[in-house]
Structure 1
Amino acid sequence: MDKNDGKDGARRYGEIGLIQRKDFGTVPPKVSYRLTPLGERFVPVINSIRKWGTRHLSVTA
């Protein structure tokens, strides 16, 4: 995983309206993220996918 993957993912989620980014304009940089109402409505979907994975996918490698 590249160090920018998290930042790029957060940017994409912001662009589609799942999260909101707040930049505090400080040095060193400080930002926070929160779910938007759309993001909050998506939580049950993520939970369903997680539960399905727990039931159907093996953790052994």
Structure 2
Amino acid sequence: DWQAALSKATEENESINHWKKDLKDATPPADTSIIEPSDSAIQSDTNMLDAWVRDMEEIEKEIKQTS
């Protein structure tokens, strides 16, 4: 009977998705802090990306010259 199947599926869905409610209801511990990247880490990443872009541009120029 479809009503019994619906009831069973609803119960299973509720038990599967129960973690969402638990997570929403839970409060984070007071000692939890947000990690912010330092300025030096951001600058380092930017420098590395800039170097990579320059390398790729040089490779692109070499490919165009040889073809």
**Fold match (TM-score > 0.5):** no
More helix by share: 2
What is the TM-score when the length of structure 2 is the normalising length? Answer: 0.30
Higher relative contact order (CA 8 A, sep 6+): 1
What is the TM-score when the length of structure 1 is the normalising length? Answer: 0.32
**Greater Rg over alpha carbons, structure:** 2
